[in-house]
Chain A
Amino acid sequence: MVGIVGYGSYVPRHRIRISTIAEQWGDDAKVIENGLLLQEKTVPGRDEDTITIAVEAAKNALKRAEIDPQEIGAVYIGSESHPYAVKPSGTVLIDALGIGPHVHVADFEFACKAGSEAMFVAYSHVKSGNMKYAMGIGADTSQGAPGDALEYSASAGGSAFIFGTENVIAEVIETHSFTTDTADFWRREYQHYPRHGGRFTGEPAYFKHVLNSAKEILDKSGIKPSEFAHAVFHMPNGRFPLKAGKTLGFTDEQMKQGWVVNIMGNTYSGSSITGFSAILDVLKPGELALLVSFGSGAGSDAFIFRATERITEVQNKAPKIRELLDSNKMYLSYGQYAAYRKKILFNE
């Protein structure tokens, strides 16, 4: 049996309300809130970045896995906001956690699905018998351009998953990936903000890839939507994942637990996998969960998991994501937000 042995998430304490951003740019807050189904999003503190977020998430995963960090054979961090263009986030993380040095490390990038693909590769290492444990992490502190629609949703946070064969808490039943070259959303080197194709990011991008990878994995596995206790799809806003789920035959009830975007925002590489972390927090032994990510460019990774008996022993060993989302919140004004996110020209 191969699957998750430990998982953990982290979001910063700072928040900004959608209405605060709307007020800044002269948008109707109610229209935005209803249109995108978003209330507030997380904002990284000035002393936080993808690396510090990944470290905290991984710490929580290690708490649940209860393994010696030195036994981890590979660590992959997927993000679109790695602090360095050249110098991996993964190396800082392993030294912060006492993993390695006999370990393989690489950073991944694929817009919002860099986290799920880190998970896929970590899982594959363990499945192939290459190593005892491997960790895949997705974390981001991505930026939305001021006044752009993405500014309402781009947020910060991440989750980490350790795969192994012993003491598994959620077995991997099936995986599938669906990828094509689609220019829906991109950022060129040296540009500060990404650009996107507006409504093109919907049907031809998000829905095409999410629905295809999901249909394929359901067919491959022979499992029907009604058999799942929970399902989570990538959450660029509040509406897309619910629409995708409904199209496939999932109910609101099934998608509710993983649907954290309304109070978290879109944590990009941390998005669907953090929703999945929320699902793991409540998943009961024997229950099935579906995780479908999406990354612009474009691609979708899908996983089906089944919880084991052991899951209830570890859920309480680290903070749960919905607890983190609901506590110690510190709200920012737009001016503070702009300073934190370095959207202002500072004198260097």
Chain B
Amino acid sequence: MANSQRYTREIPHRFRLEAQKFEDGFVSLPNRYISPNGNKNSEKIKLSGKGKILSYTVIHTPSDEFKLIKPYAVAIIETIEGARLTAMITDTPLDKITIGADVELVFRKIKEEGASGIINYGYKAIVV
């Protein structure tokens, strides 16, 4: 079952890191109508892709769609603009990943919807 709608809708965020900065300080990567604390005023910003690892783990039991690439690391990252996001870490030896490490977000293939489905792209992190 193809996911054309979700794929297209999320392009500004997944491909270009277009985000929102609300007046109350909350920075959101996925677009929202209102911040979690009820603020409606925001400006559009574009994340630079630079950030720091707040926490990470190495996944040993993935869901089926990622099972061939285990073990792989995922991390919670705070960007320099103050946005929080979760990303897979790629092209980085596992022992180079630490809490506090600087990362850069790169444009990568996230998954394929099977052999005949849409190829999903998005952001992943590399420890710099």
Name A's B-contacting residues (CB within 8 A). Answer: 12-14, 45-49, 51-52, 55-56, 83-84, 92, 95-98, 328, 330, 339, 346, 348
Contact = CB atoms under 8 A, between A and B. Distances in A.
30 contacts: A12-B91, A45-B91, A45-B108, A46-B68, A46-B69, A47-B88, A47-B90, A47-B109, A47-B110, A47-B124, A49-B109, A51-B109, A51-B119, A51-B121, A52-B106, A52-B109, A52-B121, A55-B107, A56-B106, A56-B107, A83-B119, A84-B119, A95-B11, A95-B16, A98-B16, A328-B91, A330-B91, A339-B68, A346-B68, A348-B114
Contacts of B91: 12-14, 45, 328, 330
Given A92-B15, A96-B15, 12 more contacts: A46-B69, A46-B109, A48-B108, A48-B109, A49-B119, A52-B107, A52-B109, A55-B107, A56-B107, A96-B16, A330-B91, A348-B115
B25 interface: no
Interface in B24-42: none
Contacts of A46: 68-69, 109
Interface of B: 11, 15-16, 68-69, 88, 90-91, 93, 106-110, 114-115, 119, 121, 124
Contact of A45 (B11, B90, B119): B90
Contact of A96 (B68, B107, B124): B107
Tell me whether chain A's interface is mostly helix, strand or loop, or mixed.
Answer: loop
A42 B12 CA distance: 30
Contacts of B115: 348
Contacts of A56: 106-107
B106 to A, nearest CB: 7
A195 B114 CA distance: 27
A28 B52 CA distance: 47
A12 B124 CA distance: 14
A47 B108 contact: yes
B57 to A, nearest CB: 18
B121 A92 contact: yes
B119 to A, nearest CB: 5
